[in-house]
Structure 1
Amino acid sequence: MAVVVRRDAGIYAYEASLRRAGFELIAGADEAGRGACAGPLVAAAVILPAGRSGRVPGLADSKLLSHAQRERVYPEILSRAISWSVVCVENLECDRLGMQQANLAALRRAVARLDPSPDFAITDGFSVDGLSMPSLAVWKGDQVAAAVAAASVIAKVTRDRIMDQWHQELPQYAFDIHKGYCTSLHQERLEQHGASSIHRQCFENVRRAGRVNPL
């Protein structure tokens, strides 16, 4: 059965169309930290209920929300979700797998941990093989599908909190400001202090920074 969704139909339209096609439990999955050169890659998956109870006030792609907005939306998602999960792929595994495979592995694990298991999964951007249910990769899915947007918020909030904790251990890198992404400030601190043990050696700028400082 074909599922057609208009671009201007709103953030809940994908799930509504899939439910009309016979899929009841619809998961969205997204990640945070793919482009960072330090810290973990974090993926989340969410199943929101149908109807009004699944409509999260203020929900949008995490990148379109401020820190304060994400912090307000985050508990709303957790309280309304039928199921949610979050997984971390640490920097050493990112180095071993490469970022593309680490990203797919993280999304796959996040969906697999949902209980109950979804009937259908929507992933942001990339098709994810190895899922036990039908799935659809949606370009900019975190902007057009509510469950993916919810997953993006969970992943982003979780990862930001992890990087804030790392800032307490490694304040010289200013992880509380750039969260491990490749900003000019981060590069300046890398060149000044060298790489830490949570930096990803698969990034050339990290390898150029030289030594790995132990905790």
Structure 2
Amino acid sequence: MSFRMNLKEFDNSFMKNGRKLICGVDEAGRGPLAGPVVAAAVVFNANVWNDEINDSKKLSEKKRTALFDWIVKNALSYGVGIVHHEEIDRINILNAALKAMKTAAAKLSVEPDLILIDGNRKFETEVECSAIVGGDRKSFAIASASILAKVTRDEIMKNYAFFYPEYGWHKNKGYPTKDHFEAIKLYGVTPLHRKTFLKKIIISE
């Protein structure tokens, strides 16, 4: 039995005590210096699975894009939540990520019986929740959510790159790479940067 199949079995193991619909939730973009944090929530029927689904970080960009389309077509329901850089600066990245995840789950067209959340923190909701550390490597639904969130955020950053091509966001997606730091020092901070993530650079300017 393959590791990928175990991802689906992990989700289905929660289908007891009347539970039928399991939702997976994950986010992308906690670490970048610019742009939003994006979360996704996904619900599948029990018999739907794809052995290529995995943690988005372990997949190529091309594979993520292909699986994004498969997830959208085969999910019973999905939702996406976005919290932009201004609010990240205002409420901090942890609260912003939780808000994005809560927003994504609220956009589902069906109410799940259980929400599995990647990580060790839960957002407030009337639906039963369970935080799963390393959930994007264990759960089919969470891994699917990680793909939706990652692809959505990457596309946002590619679009932003048209307006600020000097920062290489089409490649680094706003993450703190050497080239990104050098661009900030050379061209300054853009309106799309998270100011709280760049305090030392801003102060030194």
What's the TM-score once normalised by structure 2's chain length? 0.93
Query: Is the CA contact (8 Å cut-off) linking 1:37 and 1:182 kept in structure 2?
Result: yes
Aligned residue in 1 for 2:101? 107
The separation in 1 between residues aligned to 2:121 and 2:147, in whole angstroms, is: 20
Asked if 1:88 is matched to 2:82, the reply is yes
Q: 10-19 or 39-48, which moves further after superposition? A: 10-19
Aligned residue in 2 for 1:123? 117
Q: What do residues 28-87 of structure 1 show as CA deviations (whole Å, max 9, x unaligned)?
A: 000000011100000000001111xx1024100000000011011111000110000111
Q: CA deviation at 1:22?
A: 2.2
Q: CA deviation at 1:102?
A: 0.8
Asked if 1:187 is matched to 2:146, the reply is no
- Which structure 2 residues correspond to residues 38-187 of structure 1 after superposition, within 5 A? 38-51=34-47, 54-187=48-181
Aligned residue in 2 for 1:4? none
Aligned residue in 1 for 2:33? 37
One-letter identity of the residue aligned with 2:93 = M
One-letter identity of the residue aligned with 1:183 = T
Query: Is the CA contact (8 Å cut-off) linking 2:101 and 2:123 kept in structure 1?
Result: no
The separation in 2 between residues aligned to 1:13 and 1:156, in whole angstroms, is: 24
Tell me the C-alpha RMSD between the 2 structures.
1.6
Q: Percent identity among equivalent residues? A: 35
Asked if 1:20 is matched to 2:16, the reply is yes
Q: What do residues 143-202 of structure 1 show as CA deviations (whole Å, max 9, x unaligned)?
A: 100000000000000000000000111101110110001111111111111110010011
The separation in 2 between residues aligned to 1:197 and 1:129, in whole angstroms, is: 29
Q: CA deviation at 1:134?
A: 0.7
Aligned residue in 2 for 1:3? none
**How many residue pairs get matched?**
201
The separation in 2 between residues aligned to 1:82 and 1:9, in whole angstroms, is: 19
Query: Is the CA contact (8 Å cut-off) linking 1:194 and 1:209 kept in structure 2?
Result: no
One-letter identity of the residue aligned with 2:181 = Q
Q: Look up the SS of the partner of 1:88 in the other structure.
A: strand
What's the TM-score once normalised by structure 1's chain length? 0.89
User: CA 1:182–1:66 in structure 2 vs 1: closer, same or farther (change >3 Å)?
Assistant: same
Q: CA deviation at 1:16?
A: 1.0
